[in-house]
Amino acid sequence: MKKKLLQYLACPLCGGGDIRLRAVAEEDGIEIMSGDLECANCERSFPIVRGIPRFANLEEIEEEKQATAESYGWSWQQFSQDDARYDEQFLAWIAPVRPEFFAGKVVLEGGCGKGRHTQRIARWGASDVVAVDLGPAVEVAFAATRDLENAHIIQADIYHLPLHRVFDYAFSVGVLHHLPNPRAGFKSLISKVKQGGYASAWIYGAENNGWIVRVINPLRREVTSKISRRLLFHLSKIPTAIMYGATKLIYRPLNSSRRGAPIARHLFYGDYLSSIAGFNWREQHLIVFDHLVAPTAFYIPREEFEEWWRDVNATDVVIGWHNKNSWRGFGRLPE
């Protein structure tokens, strides 16, 4: 944990007391690797373990949330690789935001996984980016960002963020639909954005996802999220092989010819499969595994997503299709 993070921290237990350093046991360069934090108001303490401040203890978290966070933690440890295509993929999830937007901003990321986006935002010139995840993914995110003096990783629940309301921009990519109550998770994230600040969210859509909702969702809920992760890791290579074959033999060649591109868009999941056709085997395996491992997933209609933004009184809201099977939203919070 970098000392600079302290200015953003607020006690999640007593309604926002400042957090101060009580003890430092070990340091490594700019990181405090172990020690204790405490609330200046209620004096409750929070440990810093392996460089990460811990505001959530997975063992005390509700079972459903715990299972999701643990499954993803395991997933990010297996798939810790970086990929040059993540830039483009991330920007498509948060459009119309561009890298220049981050310059000088204080940014909050809800559910950072392995920290691939945290890393990018820090490099794109954010003043600071504070990234939160509930599960063991924080260990991977910490390793990926520890050398960036403006990147900070925290273990915490998105519903109980240990942060002051000081952020210029908050975003969450691929997380809210895995929460037991997605709308409440969105509101909690937004509650940390200062007046006149901005927010983005990307979620699974209900529209155009009929067969996933009918076939894959029950399979995920009843089978694939319950079997051993290692077994799922290997079994998920079967659907990956089918998707990989289709994208490399059909979608990609069609998309690289001018006449073929319009045809590719009309094929099964044309926009989506075309968008991932450039990814290698490992990335496609990650995508399939990621879809099958989570115990909870909601598919959210556009109308409901629009309500989330109305509920927080956002203005200048831009909601758009992402690959015609999911929704991305961007908006500004009132002054």
- Contact set with ligand SAM (CB under 6 A): 65, 68-69, 72, 111-113, 116, 132-135, 137, 157-158, 173-175, 178-179, 290
Q: At which residue do the structure tokens 């809210």 appear?
A: 176
Nearest to ligand SAM of 119, 255 (CB atom): 119
Nearest to ligand SAM of 17, 115 (CB atom): 115
DSSP string covering 233-246, please? HHHTHHHHHHHHHH
CB of 156 to ligand SAM, least distance (A): 7
For Zn ion, the binding residue among 23, 25, 42, 103 (CB under 5 A) is: 42
Nearest to ligand SAM of 72, 101 (CB atom): 72
Nearest to ligand SAM of 108, 175 (CB atom): 175
For Zn ion, the binding residue among 39, 130, 199, 232 (CB under 5 A) is: 39
The residue number whose beta carbon is nearest to ligand SAM equals 113
Tell me the three state secondary structure of residue 218.
helix
Nearest to Zn ion of 54, 220 (CB atom): 54
How many whole angstroms separate alpha carbon 54 and alpha carbon 73? 15
How many whole angstroms separate alpha carbon 65 and alpha carbon 305? 22
The yes or no reply on residue 174 touching Zn ion (CB under 5 A) is no
The yes or no reply on residue 162 touching Zn ion (CB under 5 A) is no
The span of 15-23, 137-145, 267-275, 310-318 binding Zn ion (CB under 5 A) equals 15-23
CB of 200 to ligand SAM, least distance (A): 11
CB of 40 to Zn ion, least distance (A): 8
CB of 15 to Zn ion, least distance (A): 7
The yes or no reply on residue 40 touching Zn ion (CB under 5 A) is no
E strand intervals along 16-162: 19-28, 31-39, 45-49, 52-53, 106-110, 128-133, 151-155
The residues with which 330 forms a beta bridge, in sequence order, are 200, 318
DSSP string covering 285-299, please? HHHHHHHHH-S----
Nearest to ligand SAM of 152, 178 (CB atom): 178
Tell me the three state secondary structure of residue 104.
coil
The yes or no reply on residue 323 touching Zn ion (CB under 5 A) is no
Within 13 Å of residue 27, how many CA atoms lie on the same side as its CB?
7
Nearest to Zn ion of 42, 227 (CB atom): 42
Cis (ω within 30 of 0) for the bond into 334? no
DSSP string covering 249-287, please? IIIHHHHTSTTHHHHHHHSTTHHHHHHHTTS-HHHHHHH
# residues near Zn ion by CB under 5 A: 7
CB of 190 to Zn ion, least distance (A): 22
Tell me the three state secondary structure of residue 24.
strand
Q: Do 330 and 236 contact (CB within 8 A), yes or no?
A: no
The yes or no reply on residue 163 touching Zn ion (CB under 5 A) is no
Q: At which residue do the structure tokens 């810093």 appear?
A: 48
Contact positions toward Zn ion, by CB under 5 A? 11, 13-14, 17, 39, 41-42
